[in-house]
């Protein structure tokens, strides 16, 4: 029997710098639904850093995209995978600095 996908690890990026992962998250819903939630929160003037960044990018004419970096299957721990991805992204940032 084929394993079922139970969630996704994703990043938010700007079309200005598509390889610069600005926010990493996880969802057990569809990536499209999560993207729409992020866009709605950004439009509501949410004060979180990620939404300030999104509003700035949009104001400057760039697109915000949600990019799935890993499908999470039913036998995997989504929270643990999210933490591993955060560590990986932090390592990438340090190596570029």
* Segment 30-82, tens digit of pLDDT: 999 999 999 999 999 889 999 999 999 999 999 999 999 999 999 899 999 99
Greater confidence (1 vs 65) lies with: 65
Give the pTM.
0.89
Tell me which of 90 and 93 has the higher pLDDT. Answer: 90
Please enumerate, as own/partner, the contacts of 26-34 that have beta carbons within 8 Å and a separation of 24 or more: 26/72, 26/78, 26/79, 26/81, 26/82, 28/78, 31/66, 31/68, 34/8, 34/10, 34/66
Answer whether 55's CB lies under 8 Å from 61's CB.
Answer: no
Best mean pLDDT range from 18-22, 61-65, 73-77, 89-93: 61-65
Q: What is the mean pLDDT of residues 80-96?
A: 89
């Amino acid at each position: 029997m084929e394993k079922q996908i139970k969630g996704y690890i994703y990043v938010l990026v700007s079309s200005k710098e598509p390889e610069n992962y600005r926010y990493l998250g996880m969802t057990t819903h569809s990536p499209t639904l999560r993207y729409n939630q992020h866009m709605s929160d950004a439009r509501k003037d949410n004060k979180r850093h990620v939404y300030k960044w999104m509003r700035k990018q949009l104001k400057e004419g760039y697109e915000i995209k949600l990019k799935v970096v890993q499908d999470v299957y039913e036998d995997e721990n989504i929270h643990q995978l999210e933490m591993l991805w955060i560590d990986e992204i932090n390592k990438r940032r340090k190596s570029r600095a």
